[in-house]
Structures are given as C-alpha cells and as structure tokens.
Structure 1
Amino acid sequence: MNSKILKKLNGNMPDFIKLLAKNIIRKKLIENRVFLEQYEELMKFEKLSDYEKKEIQFHKLKKSLCYAYENTKYYKNTFDTIGFNPYEMKDISEMKLLPQIDKKEIFDRYDEFISSEKMDFYCSSTGGSTGKEMIIPLDKDSIYREKAFIYHCWSKLGYDYKKSRLATFRGMDFAGKIQKYNPLYNEVILSPVRINNYEIREYVKIIEKFRPNFIHGYPSAIYSFCKVLKENNIILSTNIKGVFFISETVDEIKRTFIEQYFNCKSLAFYGHTERAVFAEEGFDKCYKFNELYGFTEIDTDDSGSSRIICTGFLNKKMPLIRFITDDVVKEECEGFKIYGHRQKEVLIGKHGEEVSITSLEINDKVLTQIRFYQYVQKERGKFIFNIVPEKHISDEDIKLIKKLLDKKLINTFEYTIEVVDRVILSSRGKFSTIVQCIK
C-alpha cells in the first residue's frame, strides 16, 4: 500500500472501521522497513563520539549535494555556474560557497527544485512568512524517516512506539464532533476550540475510554484543558507520563502549570513542512539540531538577529540546500532557543519598526492573574492588548501591565488594553501571541 493511499484511507475511514483495522493500519508505519532502519540508526548514532557523528553528517551532506546536482535543474545550473563540484567536496566549510535560498526563490523557480527521479510522493503545503501557500512534494520514505526522528525524540520521556497512545489537541475537520480516531499514529485527536465548562466532561469521557499514556498538541489548547479541569475539580484517572508540544512557542508559565497538573515532564521539537531541519528540546529547555536529519547553520545579520539556514537529508523529491527559515534563534546554555516566525510574530511601529515577539515577552508575577494575552494589530503604530483573566483582574493589575508594556515599547506604539472572554485562534485552533492583520 503506497503512502498516498494509506494517508487517504486513514483520514477518510469511519471511526468504527478504523477501530476494527487499527492494528493493520498502525503496522503499516511501525513495521515499515524504512522507519525501522531510521530508528535503529538513531539509536546507534546517539552512542557515537562527536567526531564520529560529524563524519557521518558530512557523508550524508555530500551525498545529498551530489543527488541534488544529478536530479534537479536548479542545483545542476547553480553548481556549474559557481564552479562547485560536489563529488570533490573535502570539508564542511565549503558549504559557504553555495548560495542561500528562500521561499521567494523557490516560488520563482519552483519546477527547477523538483527531482526528476520517479518516486512515490505526496504533497503538503506551508504558508509561512510569505502568507502564500507553497506546495511541498515529499517522497514516501521521508514520511517514515520523519516519524522515526519524532518517536526517538519522544522516547526521552518513555514513549514506546510499539504500544504508547496519545491524546492529541490539534486542529482538523472534526465534522461537527470533538474527536477523531487516528490508528496510524495510535491517537485520539481532540478539538482545540471547544474546551469549555460545558463540554469538558465529554473530553474527559473520551480520554478515560482511550487511556492515553501521553498528551500531545498545541500548548495553548493543553493549557486550556488543564485549567478547565482544575476549575471543575476534575482529576483524570488516566496516568499521563509526559506531554509533547507542537506548532506553537511554549510559554514557560503555562508549561510549568501543565507539568505540575499532570505531574510529568514535557518536551517539544522544532521542524517544518519542508523537512530540512529537526531540533530536539532538552530538559534544559534548549534545542539541539539533529545531525542525522540535516546540516544546520546559524547566521547572524547586522541587526544581531540570528536565523536558521538548513540543508535537509530526508526529502529527495524537493531537496533544499542552504534554505533560510523565517524563525529567530538565540544561542543559550548548551544549545539554542527558537522563537516563532521572523515576519509573522512582529508588531509594526508607526515608522515601520519591526518589534519581534521576543522583545515583547512579559515576565512578571502579574501573569499569574492572566490565562492568555494577545497582541492584535490592524494598523501601523497601534495595537490592542487582549487579556483573558483567570477569574478577575484588578485595575491595579491593569496599570502594572501598562507600565510593563510602556517600558518595552518606549513610545513606539499607541495601544489599548481590553479584557476579553477568549483569544483569537486560527481556523485550525492554533494560538499566536501576535495576530497581525497588516498585509
């Protein structure tokens, strides 16, 4: 069964049929040869010395460059133009000779990036900072390899791909329901947008019946779930061993609350649709880039802002070399902190200033009175600061928040503070600290 048929069947089957066929569907992933080989390689790789890891990474990098040269028009022409011979590459420093590419370059010369090799593949899409959808063809094997990297990362908290179950909070088409069963990933998917006092017991009923070992999904949705459980004095009888975050930047105050509520640790990983980079969060909350997944460079521009430049090893259908992401990184501890998107997560000042999300972070005890806060911008130099309070927020707390904001903004913006019942979520239920309406 090829990858496109498997994904389509898993997505379109009625739940009662999925339940009957769950073992067959799951085995298509976890007994797949490519998945098993990749997982085994990851297990062996972590035991190697740093020197051995670098040697393997260089070999994979060189192999990827040669493949791109042989199978794509863009890299054949580019390498020939600059006189770069991938077969004679001797040192990783030679990567600096190659041009960087961004999404605009891919849009403009899209067909030239696609491999001429015939293979089974499917298409995924990404919007990113351009706001324009880009279709990414992904080869079949990259699906299985990607999942091996994720499961290996999760194994730090005891996840066992052979038997562990997930309760996942993420957006999808629920056809009017609040749940959808997904046997391919051994999970029950729950709507992130209907977590409230009226429906919370239905969520609990579903989770208690499925008995997941781990919680997985958007941090904002998991946090809301924990808060509503606590407000209603509901204690899950299911033992949760760990929490895995996806898609959103993790707020440390909310993370602490979630970990304390479930009495377990949490982890996140960083990746993107293009399959060119994968970073794993350590227990120190810093990320390290996986050297088996790709080759990652950190480039700091004149403003002091650092960005990720990545070359992926997984996806042969559209190989990307020195691809610039739109995410901000900062070197800390023994790794990096990764902060959202460079262009989406900014406020625009009255004179065109771009103020990043990292510059707007508020760290103060007043946040214990706030469930969520969100910046909504519709015109330059102005924004609305929406607050969803825990229960009640005093005028003194509002004044303190204003004082904190004024310190950070230094007269760059006019703004109002509004107390609201809920924050704005995307159509898929994702939360963003900044809702940017300026195109």
Structure 2
Amino acid sequence: MRILHKILLIMGCSLYDRSFLKYYNLVKKNEFESYEKLRKYQEGKLRELIHFAYENVPYYRKLFNNLSLKPVDIESIKDLEKLPILTKDIIRNNRKDFIPYNLDKQRYVNKSTGGSTGNPLQYRLSKSDRTLGFAILCANWGYAGYELGDKIGAIAGSALISTTRSVLQDNLKAFILNRKIFSSFDMSDEYMNEILIKLNRFKPKYLWGYASSIYLFAKHIRNNSLRINFNLDGVFTTAETLHDYQRKIIEDTFSCEVFNQYGLNDCGVSAYECRMHQGLHIDMIRSILEVVDDDGNQLGAGEEGRILGTSLHNFAMPFIRYDTGDLGILSAKKCPCGRESPLLKKIVGRVSDFIYAPNGNKIHGEFFSHIFYEFDWVKQFQIVQKRIDEIIIRIVPDSKDRVNDSDLGRLRKIIISRTGRVDITIEICDDIEPTKAGKWRFIVREIE
C-alpha cells in the first residue's frame, strides 16, 4: 500500500511542479556531502541571486547604490555582513519596490506569514521554490526513517497545512500525501478524543505538527490512560519552540523519538534533527541561515543571536538577510551521524518571547517554561504583560480540583524573585485562545 501512495505522492507533486523528484533526489544525493562542497553550492547560488536582485528588483538596486556596492562585492556568505538586516516593516513600506521587472514571466503563489505578532506579512513564493521546500521536508524526514508514501498524522494550523475553499480538493490532497489532518485550533478534551479514535483507525507511522498541540495531545492521552492502537516510528515537532518537558511527555506517551524541526517558507530556512539529537542540521540547499547580533554581525558557535534567512531560489520576491524574528544558537559540534551540514544548537524562541521587569531584568519565556514544569497539573499557561509592573498568568489545569493555594503562592514567589515587585493576577481558564494560525503564544507582551 505504501508503494501505491509513494507513486501517488510523486505523481501529485509532479502535476503541481515537475521538479519535485529532481529536487528530492538532489537533497538525498547531498545529504552526506562535504561541508566545503555544500558551502560552494550555497555561495554559487548566492551570487546568482544577488545579480538577479540587483538587475531586476528596484529595492535592491537602490540599496546597493546607496551603499556604493556592486553585485561583485557579495561573493561569499561573510560578505552578507555588508548588507543591512531586512525587516517586515521595510518590506511593507517598500512593497512596490520588491516587484521584479520580470514577475509576469514567473510562476508563483501569494502567501502570508502566520502573523503571531498580530501583523502578518504578504509575500510571493516561486512555485519551484515551494516545491523545493516540500522536497527538502520529505527528504529530511528520512533522518527518522520516513519514506515517501508513509502514513502521517498531522495536528497543526495554517502555518503547516495549506487549505483551499474546496473540502473535496483538500481531502484529495490529504489522500495523495497519505495524511490524516487535524486542526490545532480546538484542543478540547472532546476533540482530542476524536483525534485519537481516528488515528487508531488510520494507524499512522509518523505524527507531525505544532509542538504545543502534540504535547497537549500526548498529555491528554496519559492523564486519561487512553489506549493507542498504532505504533509510531517518530514524531516531528515544528513551528514552535519545543521544550525539554514537552519532548519527554511526547516520547514517553508514544514510545518513540521526537525529531524537532525549524523552518520558515518566507525566507526558506529550515533545520532538522537526526537520531543523534545533537542539534538541528541546517539546510544548505534552499537558503542561507545566519545568526547575528543586533547590528547584523555574524556570531560564532555558542552565541545567542537573531536568525536571518536568505532564500536562494525565490526569484518572485527575493529576501536577503531577512529577520525571522527568532533567536538561535549555532553549535560548534560536528554531528556523529556523518552529515556535515552545520548544526543549530538551540532555537531559543521568538524575539518577542520575553517580558521586561521593574528591576531591569529581561526575562525570556524559557524561565516560565521551567517553572511550570514543576506543576504537573498545569495543562497550558500564558503570561500576559500589561504594564512594566503588571503580569497576568493564565492557567488551564488538568482538573480544577488540583489547583491549590500552596502551588500558586510558590509560583508567585519564584516569579517575583526574578522580576522584583510586580502585581501578579492568576486566572484559571478552561482554554487559551490560539493565534489565527492555530499556534499557542505563551508570552504576550503588550508594552514595548
């Protein structure tokens, strides 16, 4: 049956873009290629992109002229430091200047970012680049043993699962890809029971989706001693920061390894965890990923900085040194798996995933994740900062009977020890509303 679905998947993808199998084979062929050859490939594609952007995209022509630069001045990844960081606001304020002169000759789709900050960005994506992204995803799922045509259960939203207005068309696509798809917008107990019933019938080989959604699903199964009638070879988490306590619950529940991923379509960057779990292998085919300081200087291994992406194949709307809004740390390690692509040691989270404290501290969301791990009755939480001295803590408990003054008092004490004196309001909720993309924001900062 998997062979049939493999053929269907290849045929379906090829109908959309005949390059799918070519790209898939390209990625598999280069999986264990030397770092030097991969870097050479990247920089060759970078030079092509820079020349195209200068000749065809008004924004980049103006930028280069203002900086007294020519395309020949950007020959290597290090040379990218000569260019400023590209932000969403720059793109919005110069939208017409990002239209290539030859756009009418290109095949592309209109896309939008998830808008987790409340302001989604509209952009164009070359059809060939979109196909390359999917080929990379399928090929690098192979780190966990995935083969084309294997059954996938998916719990996610619009950031991962694109839908149309036709239910028939969406169902046909899911059949071709051999997926059973569930929305992450409603993670109520009733809906999670329904997910499990349908997955028990479908019997997926892998589970894929938002880290928080799969974690909530796993915790629901454990807390209610529900029966799983399928055996997973792996779980792919993505789109959100995966915390250690979430990984443990997911792995214990499904008796398999979790393979974390990182990726954005707008600038093409992605990274994938292998069985060694030493970090995430950074894709070097589709894009260039940099970790930089606030001034755009490239940082070395072990230093936390902003993640920038340069898409090497999206000629419909080239993004060069695009600020992803994420924070990450590169690794100095060489993975023992034999792949020589560099490792992303850690995805720290969104730049906005922190709060300011009256005592001057800047406290990242990771601090709160570690706190709540101590309270096993907490199903979900959200920190909302209204003012510098006011924090609202929303908690969804497994059971309201387990909420107790002792734990809440200890929670207040731990937080105040880091923030200094703040007003803390704790709200016990039935649920926390997800973003429009179906993601769970655990830090909401309403002050600048």
Q: Same fold (TM over 0.5)?
A: yes
1:123 maps onto 2:123 in alignment: no
Q: String of CA shifts for 1:345-366, please: whole Å, max 9, x gaps.
A: 2334459975432454425762
CA contact (8 A) 1:214 1:242 kept: yes
CA drift of 1:169 comes to 1.0
Match of 2:153 in 1: 167
CA contact (8 A) 2:358 2:389 kept: yes
Equivalent residue of 2:228, what SS? coil
CA distance in structure 2 between the partners assigned to 1:399 and 1:174 by the alignment = 48
Match of 1:342 in 2: 351
User: Is the alpha carbon distance of 1:374 and 1:201 closer, same or farther for their aligned partners in structure 2, counting shifts above 3 Å?
Assistant: closer
Unaligned runs of 5+ in 1: 1-20
Aligned length: 412
Q: String of CA shifts for 1:264-283, please: whole Å, max 9, x gaps.
A: 11122222231342222344
1:310 maps onto 2:318 in alignment: no
CA contact (8 A) 2:153 2:208 kept: yes
1:429 maps onto 2:413 in alignment: no
Match of 2:341 in 1: none
- Further displaced range: 356-365 or 53-62: 356-365
CA distance in structure 1 between the partners assigned to 2:118 and 2:10 by the alignment = 35
- Pairwise mapping of residues 211-290 of structure 1 onto structure 2 (< 5 A)? 211-282=203-274, 283-284=276-277, 286-290=279-283
Unaligned runs of 5+ in 2: 296-302, 334-343
Match of 1:298 in 2: 291
CA contact (8 A) 1:26 1:183 kept: no
Equivalent residue of 2:29, what SS? helix
| From 12, 15, 24, the counterpart of 1:28 | 12
CA distance in structure 2 between the partners assigned to 1:289 and 1:137 by the alignment = 23
Q: String of CA shifts for 1:75-110, please: whole Å, max 9, x gaps.
A: 223223433332465544322222322111111111
1:189 maps onto 2:181 in alignment: yes
Q: String of CA shifts for 1:122-148, please: whole Å, max 9, x gaps.
A: 111125476323211111101110001
CA distance in structure 2 between the partners assigned to 1:220 and 1:47 by the alignment = 32
User: Is the alpha carbon distance of 1:340 and 1:42 closer, same or farther for their aligned partners in structure 2, counting shifts above 3 Å?
Assistant: same
CA drift of 1:262 comes to 0.6
- Further displaced range: 424-433 or 316-325: 424-433
| From 97, 117, 120, the counterpart of 1:112 | 97
Match of 2:408 in 1: 398
Equivalent residue of 2:374, what SS? helix
Equivalent residue of 1:239, what SS? coil
Match of 2:385 in 1: 377
CA drift of 1:261 comes to 0.8
Same amino acid, percent of matched pairs: 26
TM-score by length of 1: 0.83
CA distance in structure 2 between the partners assigned to 1:216 and 1:189 by the alignment = 9
CA contact (8 A) 1:129 1:326 kept: no
- Further displaced range: 427-436 or 346-355: 346-355
Match of 1:7 in 2: none
CA drift of 1:305 comes to 5.7
Q: Partner amino acid for 1:378?
A: K
CA drift of 1:242 comes to 1.0
Match of 1:145 in 2: 132
User: Is the alpha carbon distance of 1:25 and 1:55 closer, same or farther for their aligned partners in structure 2, counting shifts above 3 Å?
Assistant: closer
Alignment root-mean-square deviation, CA:
3.1
CA contact (8 A) 2:385 2:447 kept: yes
